[in-house]
Amino acid sequence: MDRAPPRGAPRDAVGQRWLAVFAFQAALSAAASALRLAVFPRGRSHPLLGVPTGLLLALDPFLSCAATGLLALALLLTESPHPRPPPLPRSALATALLAAAGTLCVGAAAAMLPEDAGWEAVAWLGFRGAVLGSIFAGHYFGRRRWLLQFPVLQRPLFYGLKMGLLPSGNRALKLSIQAFLISHFLVFFLPWQFRKGGSVILTEISILMVTAAVSFCLEINYQFVQVVHTRRCSFAPPQSTAAAETNPTEFILETLEQSDSRSLIQYLAYQDLCVVSECNVEPWRRAAFFEESGETYKRIVTACLKPLEEFTSKIAEALEGLSSDKPELMLQQSKLFSAFDDSQICTWCARTLAVLTARSRQEDRYGVAQLTGCNAAVMTTLLSALVAIETCLGKKTNPQPVHSLGPENIRWASLSTGRKGTGVSIASTQKGGLHKKAYTMADVLRTSVYQIVSAFIDDLRANAKPSSLEKNWISEGRKPVYGSQAVLVQKLILFIEYRAV
């Protein structure tokens, strides 16, 4: 079993963010309750309910807080950065909790009922809330909204929420209309008393407004969870402390190596590593990567190479034994689709490796990147992953004569089913957006290789012979995960000549 990450801000980040979610939902509930307390009269009783309106208004904050708390608990059980569906018991539990949240949210509006309202109206409101919660749960799981989407740019919290207001309003309106229509269809299966109470006591416009307001609250809560959990977390000890002076990289290294695979805290650690490597937000942390012994740099490179090598090996496994048989082709596409599930971490790893290798040209005072052989390992892994993806897209990967290299000599395989020469194209279909993911990942890898080549262009051109490149930039005595050393050398030559497309 993996040991827990070290104590402190990195390990507590996820828990603190969930506390922020609960606080946000409590504030939202309190604001809604205060608004209703200010608008609706108190001290009178419903003749049919026999309950003072003040008591209903007093219970309203507890109902709202309970509803939003159930919603937060449901999101807590399902939110994940990895595209792996939550286990079935958790899905069933979250569906029930979301339905209960809708029931309680709309049930809290019972305090706004007119004085001649009976229990049928309260039951009718609860039924409409249950329908709304069920529809929201169906959209939540049917569209895989439990998957955390990390933004390309990190914006302040306020602007992150502001950008989600309009989409949340549009989705809330659609959900409320769907709940409105479905509940009117299902009402025919209820006893006549409930149908009568629902049609006489509340107008259809008021019902639609209440359900739209509740669904908007659900969407805003969901948007807040997305924005909060995808924000960057700094995996470093506070500056001017003993830990920052002696070993500032221990937090992030232990998190990368010891946290559960593909967990949220591991995603946040890779995100932080990429930001520190690419930007000058904390230059003292990046300077610590190139410490004299080279052990820190080697551990960072190893932690980033591992996801890329696993990603390439999954693609290589899917490409083995290609067949034009339709069931076999569908199985291979399914394997490819699961391989690209880790594309977010692989993107961060490729960008981190590229920028650290490029910056080592100027910032590596002790030459640890070159002496430890990390530069060759990075270039080999990036080229191997790129060749594997290009094979999926239909490019030939067999070694060609040097004079025939170039984009004009690339031959694309047929976009049908199987093997043609040495090219395949099982990622060229529209299934699940697989071709889009493949092209996106190929662009990331191509840009990463070009970043390294641009930093070392003089040395690469001075040693442009295949034998020299294979010795200095392709790992000797270590077979690439995909492709041969000859293919990787020819691919690197294309990058050196800025002709790799």
Cα gap 150→27, rounded to integer Å: 26
Q: Indicate if the pLDDT at residue 94 is higher than 90.
A: no
Domain-embedded: residue 297: no
Helix (H/G/I), strand (E/B), else coil: 166: helix
Domain-embedded: residue 283: yes
Instruction: Tell me: do 355 and 281 sit in the same domain.
Output: no
- Say how many C-beta atoms besides its own lie within 10 A of residue 447's C-beta: 12
pTM tops 0.85: no
Instruction: Tell me: do 205 and 330 sit in the same domain.
Output: no
pLDDT digits 0-9 by tens, 232-289: 888 888 777 776 777 888 889 988 988 888 888 899 999 999 999 998 888 888 989 9
Q: Indicate if the pLDDT at residue 72 is higher than 70.
A: yes
Instruction: Tell me: do 392 and 469 sit in the same domain.
Output: yes
Q: Are 437 and 342 in contact (CB under 8 A)?
A: no
Reference 378, options 458, 449, 431, 426; nearest CA is: 449
Q: Amino acid identity, residue 198?
A: G
Cα gap 13→252, rounded to integer Å: 13
Cα gap 165→223, rounded to integer Å: 8
- Say how many C-beta atoms besides its own lie within 10 A of residue 394's C-beta: 19
Instruction: Tell me: do 271 and 325 sit in the same domain.
Output: no
Cα gap 254→71, rounded to integer Å: 33
Choose between 434 and 226: higher pLDDT. Answer: 226
pLDDT digits 0-9 by tens, 101-120: 777 666 666 655 655 556 66
Domain-embedded: residue 295: no
Which of 208, 230, 252 is the C-terminal boundary of a domain? 230
Instruction: Tell me: do 353 and 438 sit in the same domain.
Output: yes
Instruction: Tell me: do 30 and 135 sit in the same domain.
Output: yes
Q: Indicate if the pLDDT at residue 373 is higher than 90.
A: no
Reference 452, options 380, 344, 390; nearest CA is: 380
Which of 182, 208, 230 is the C-terminal boundary of a domain? 230
Choose between 48 and 334: higher pLDDT. Answer: 334
Task: Enter the tokens of residue 162.
Answer: 């502001």
Domain-embedded: residue 409: no
**How many structural domains does the chain have?**
3
Q: Which domain holds residue 314?
A: 305-400+431-500
Instruction: Tell me: do 269 and 328 sit in the same domain.
Output: no
Instruction: Tell me: do 93 and 170 sit in the same domain.
Output: yes
Cα gap 26→99, rounded to integer Å: 19
pLDDT digits 0-9 by tens, 131-186: 888 888 888 888 888 888 898 888 888 888 888 899 999 999 999 899 888 887 88
Cα gap 109→258, rounded to integer Å: 48
Instruction: Tell me: do 191 and 214 sit in the same domain.
Output: yes
